[in-house]
Amino acid sequence: MKIALGADHAGFQIKQHLRQHLVEQGHDVVDVGTSSEESTDYPDYAAQVAHQVAKGEADCGLLVCSTGVGMSIAANKVDGIRAALAVNEDEVRLTRAHNNANVLTIGARFTTAEQADKYADVFLSTEFEGGRHQRRLNKVAQLEHEPEQ
């Protein structure tokens, strides 16, 4: 699987750990940065990962920042992205199974490197269930294209 991976300075250490974990599992990882703990702006990395996923250049994306929330907000601004915050393994599974999330965001302040590995493993191994969930996602996709009222 081809995975776009990014983080700001706060998520740098977990991103580095995740990259190694994913490569060891045989995934093709495109690391968009950051490359140090020097202060950076999370929207820059969220945009790069989200655009790769939206264009089909990556199968999915993983993003890490301090809380995971900023990355989620920024990534979700890109048409076709369904970014979800990792809170626990069950919620990560449901974001894929029910919401067909294509980007997972992780909060470095609240997640250990080992938990991040587990979240990534669950995210990458869970299939979308379709059915009634697809009907709901179709409605969500319509929202992206509705004119302002």
Angle at the Cα of 121 from the Cα atoms of 117 and 136, rounded to 5 degrees: 125
Report which of 55, 6, 56 is spatially closest to residue 29, judged by C-alpha positions: 6
60 flagged as catalytic: no
Give CA–CA dist 50/75, Å, rounded: 5
User: Which listed residue (21, 51, 98, 145) is catalytic?
Assistant: 98
Query: b or e along 72-94 (b: 16 or more beta carbons within 10 Å of the residue's beta carbon)?
Result: bebbbebeebbbbbbeeeeebeb
| The residue to which tokens 């599992």 are assigned | 25
User: Which listed residue (17, 21, 65, 133) is catalytic?
Assistant: 65
Which ranges constitute the DSSP H helices of the chain? Answer: 12-24, 42-54, 69-75, 89-97, 113-125, 132-143
98 flagged as catalytic: yes
Active site amino acids: 65, 98
